[in-house]
Amino acid sequence: MPGHHHTRSRRTTERKGDARERAILDTCEALLAQKGYEAMTVGDIAQGAGITRGALYFYFGSKQEVVTALVARTVEHLWERSRATAQADEPRQAIEAAMRRTVELWNEHGLVMRTAIDLSLTVPEIGELWSHTAVLFITAITAVLERAGIQPGTEPEQASAMASALCWMIERTFYHASQESREELQRASATCEHIWLTSAGLTT
């Protein structure tokens, strides 16, 4: 299967910006809201995108591949919005900016994010994408904590271990809050931000 994955990655790169592929992914995201992952079919996706099933199979081999590509697009947006956080000079501003961008993305694509979390244990490609994204964010959070004066290292009181716990806490908190309302998501974000600031020693 590694060879197949490489082919898919190369084809995706060659088709970057393709309007038809964007239509497929946009339709998939809409159908996740309307029907859910289990109920929607390849036929539904093709019809919504205005193409035949055969045309869809030129781009993706299955419903699972479509959803995996949608998750990849979403986490790329998440990382693009948060990339600068690790380089920001002032830790408090970096934390506030990171939480603000995270709220924005969960408001826009919360259903895709929840689907990614739900499928990460059973769809290896989605699990790999999600784990890789988590590693990027743990690294960024670690950098912010270290700039705030937290000692580097993997012991419980050190930056890397704290960053890992913060990352997964934020993921799970946002997962649940995003199912309730935008207001609940904002409250959850404020709580996570307070915990991150407290961990960094920046609440005094």
Residue 198 has pLDDT above 90, yes or no: yes
Point out the least confidently predicted range of 10-19, 38-47, 60-69, 108-117.
10-19
Domain that holds residue 35: 2-61
Provide the domain count of the chain. 2
CATH of the domain at 23: 1.10.10.60
Residue 204 maps to a domain = no
Q: Is 149 a residue whose pLDDT tops 60?
A: yes
pLDDT > 70? residue 10: no
Residues 55, 37: contact at Cβ < 8 Å?
no
| End-of-domain residue from the set 37, 61, 85 | 61
C-alpha–C-alpha distance, residues 110 and 199, integer Å: 26
Q: Give SS3 for 130.
A: helix
Specify whether the CB–CB gap between 66 and 77 falls below 8 A. Answer: no
Asked if 123 and 66 count as a contact pair (C-beta separation under 8 A), the reply is no
The yes-or-no verdict on residue 16 having pLDDT over 70 is: no
| Residue/partner pairs of 86-92 with CB below 8 Å, 24 or more apart | 86/139, 86/140, 86/143, 86/144, 88/144, 89/147, 91/144, 91/145, 91/147, 91/148, 91/200, 91/202, 92/197, 92/202
- Report the percent of the chain where pLDDT is more than 90: 66
Per-residue pLDDT for 151 more than 80?
yes
Distance, in Å, from the CA atom of 179 to the CA atom of 118, rounded to the nearest integer, reads: 13
Could you give the percent of the chain with pLDDT greater than 70?
87
The pLDDT of 98-105, averaged and rounded, is 89
User: What pLDDT, on the 0 to 100 scale, is given for residue 68?
Assistant: 94
d(CA 31, CA 25): 10
Q: How far apart are CA 68 and CA 84, in angstroms?
A: 26
Residue where one domain finishes, among candidates 36, 61, 86: 61
Q: Answer yes or no: are the C-beta atoms of 65 and 51 closer than 8 Å.
A: no
Residues 40, 102, single domain; the answer is: no
> Taking a C-beta distance cutoff of 8 angstroms, is the pair 41, 60 a contact?
no
Q: What is the value of pTM for the model shown? A: 0.81
Contact 79, 105 (CB under 8 A): no
Q: Are residues 94 and 193 in the same domain?
A: yes
Residue 87's pLDDT band (cuts 50, 70, 90): low
Same domain, 23 and 78: no
| Amino acid identity, position 146 | E
Q: Note the pLDDT of residue 18.
A: 79
The yes-or-no verdict on residue 86 having pLDDT over 70 is no
Q: Which two tokens mark 68?
A: 């995996």
